[in-house]
Amino acid sequence: MSSPALQPRLTRIAQEAVDRARLTVVPRVRTRAPRVPFVTLVSLVLVGGIVGLLLFNTSMQQASFSASNLEDQADALAAREQTLRMELDDLRDPQRVATQAQQMGMVIPTAPVFLDLRTGKTTGVRTPATREDAVQLLPPAPQMPSVLAPPATTVTVPPPAATPEVATTTRERAGQGTKRNR
């Protein structure tokens, strides 16, 4: 099949290929990855994380202060609203309005007159109201019973009468005290 001249040539090529393909032990050369870029990368990630955490904490604190201020304002406004509602209720009190109207000279009629809105006619006797006939809103102040307000009782004490016995005993005591001191 193949020619004899080709045979030695194939053997020689195969021998060269086998020689090239033989494995040999090569001494291991240790190569280290450069540490500076790795340390720099880790340091940058660490510093970036800390700075990010500080910025996040600061923004959360600012939001907390803002929320606290807004809550204080809301509480103050709610208290103000409640005060204004109480004042409005006091101003709308019918008893107060009637009392002020009476103080301005308005009078409550004794017999009211009603107006029918459909027909436009009034029912009842129309008479002018006067102060003498007017209904008083506030009753007169009640009088205190005499049992609760009895007349004042005064007691007079007579002045002490100086008796001669009392005067001499005090003089004797005064004299004895001066003798002891000498």
pLDDT tens for 36-65 read 888 999 999 999 999 999 999 999 999 999
Please tell me which residue, 9 or 105, carries the higher pLDDT value: 105
Higher-pLDDT residue of 76, 175: 76
What confidence score (pLDDT) does residue 25 get? Answer: 74
Has this prediction a pTM greater than 0.85? no
Segments making up each domain of the chain, as ranges? 36-105
Locate 37 and state its tokens.
Answer: 């870029």
pLDDT in tens, 69-81: 999 999 999 999 9
pLDDT tens figures, 20-34 = 777 677 778 777 778
